Structure 1
Amino acid sequence: MLLILIAVFVTGVFVVNFTIRRNGTGQPNSGDPNTIRGIVKTLLPSGKVIVVQKENGEEVLVSLTDASAITDEIGESLFYRDVQVGMPISAAGIRGTKDNVLIPSLVTVRLAYTYNGLMVVSVPKLRQEYFSLVFNPRLWDVASSSAEIRYKNIPDCHLIAGAPDLTVSDKWKAEMTERKIGGQVFKDTDYATESGALARRTLLLENPGAKYGLDATYFSNYLFQVVPNRSLPSAAALTCARAVDAVLETLKPRSASDRIIIADPAAPIHVDRDSPITIIGAARTYDGSIALTVVDEEDKVLFRKTVFVRSDNTRAFGYFEAEISPLGPITRPVALRIFQYSPTSGAPIDEVRLPMTIE
């Protein structure tokens, strides 16, 4: 009888270890065996289960809706639908499996990432912390960091988004012009060597709200730099500049769509449950109004208001200001959702969605 019990115990241990290895939670020397780290490879049709490609290349299924919480890299709550392909992800506190899908306690994704032609940049010192750029992955690839891309046709042409100030040689000659790129005004400075070759190019965007008709009150500077590995002759510098401009034309703050921007408050939004909150922004509308809602993860509407936009015509951005009444005690994650309705289909378009925390 004792031998039978021992055999059953050994078999059970083997089965448990096999299951753990199969689901990627027991890699030797891989750190915490209950934490999965990797990249979101695929979203299953429901969006509630994802495929994570681990650092060793292995792929595992992870449940988002069974997690106790989903947060970004600074700890702000997210909806499961905020998780996108290409995001770096950590699934911690694996509590078991269901139908070969891992059940984590905490899922953390990084909103700043670069994948398949989309670059999302985080600059914590900025008031509007995140912004995005779109590039053609056939023409550009990721360089030394997720905020740096390299132009394939001219490998010495590198664009760094949200770049810090870099050292400039006293021997370089600077020439600054103001240029409009994608509706935004940049201070564009070329630094040339004594021979006239391009050594550095900086593009300073002082007011990302200008495109939307807003002043600089609500925004911080965005700085971009073109940093060649070696000085570029005139023809190569011109080709590089055109390629960079095409990327910068797509710049968009996290708080904006093509026709709507939320200027205040900045994300992440924290709200006192007993106090109203004022939303300020600009929009280019079809009928002079936008819809403002607060929703939960299942898109249940907790607050709704039609907001009128002050504008002389539908071709220009107009200013809006709206107050959300106190929302009371809400413990689950919610989001501020602003959009307008399509004049042709009636469907919501131009949506801006930002996470909100009720405190």
Structure 2
Amino acid sequence: MATESPDQIPVEALQSVSLSNSQPQDEPSSSSNPVNELSLEEKYQIVRSVGEECIQEDELRNLLEKKPEPVCYDGFEPSGRMHIAQGVLKAISVNKLTTAGCRVKIWVADWFAQLNNKMGGDLKKIETVGRYFIEIWKAVGMDQGGGKVEFLWSSKEINSRAHEYWPIVMDIARRNKLPRIIRCSQIMGRSDQDELTAAQILYPCMQCADIFFLKADICQLGMDQRKVNVLAREYCDDIKRKNKPIILSHHMLPGLQQGQEKMSKSDPSSAIYMEDDEAEVNLKIKKAYCPPKIVEGNPCLEYVKYLVFPWFKEFVVERNPENGGNKIFKSFEDLVADYDSGELHPADLKPALSKALNKILEPVREHFRKDSNAKELLKRVKAYRVTK
């Protein structure tokens, strides 16, 4: 399937994406370019840029043409401290979607975390982690003005509309064989070879039902959630439903060490947390895998591509005159060309990356230093033991 890189999107189509006060001062705010001034093609390019993969692109274009405010669904298990992919990447994605006119429903999957035995299955701890997550997104600049972003707690919503929810879950379970459901175990961070509990068999049926329960037009989750989203489209075939949810799967940022396909909360060296202090960020990036002239599988370059460029629209490298002097990269392709040739060395790339990430994270640190509620939530979350 043809995919389009975020770097190929017309600049004018992305100018209205507002992020945070760590942006350059001349960055336009979302109010300077209302949604109704965007063409269909601009809306499509913005929304499409969120996904590494889209199933199906023609359906997405048709949806944006016919529906002024499509509903995007995203969800998360409150399962420990938040890393930078969950925090910054999600804020970037949500702000793009709302800029293009979408409504975003973020599912705080507390019951799902309990089913998956996160926080030892303690629902009170899970709720605390969920509240901490929401505080981070507010602090990092997720645009919640105008009511286009909604946080919904799964336990509360399901209980209040149980008569709608459980019949969908039961029908999905009835129409699928057990091996098909087990193949979806990746969505829980499990393998189909793992010894799964009965709760973890129920989980994919419920997550599939969420899509219909929330009346989602677009499933905007990570590539690791792809299988259950495909299950939802297959279910539409089973029930002869014409309008299938569009799957917009975002890229999964790797861990900082060699060969780590995704960040792991249980391995602090693999991830930068949203409230890590400046020295911690510097140390983690300094120790990160970043071989000279190697682009493929280089986590530092991925962070620049998916976090720094979307945020600042450029990447600034400061270095001594004898090492080539300062340079401002305006595109990821230019950066890759310099790195691949050896013109840009890891010893210059890493400090520049650390500086950019620290600039993004500073408002979050400030919030957790000054806001008493946020400070207390972080204290509690740090004290919890993360369970697989």
Decide: shared fold, TM above 0.5: no
Of Structure 1 and Structure 2, which has the larger fraction of its residues in strand? 1
Of Structure 1 and Structure 2, which has the larger fraction of its residues in helix? 2
Q: Which structure has the bigger radius of gyration?
A: 1
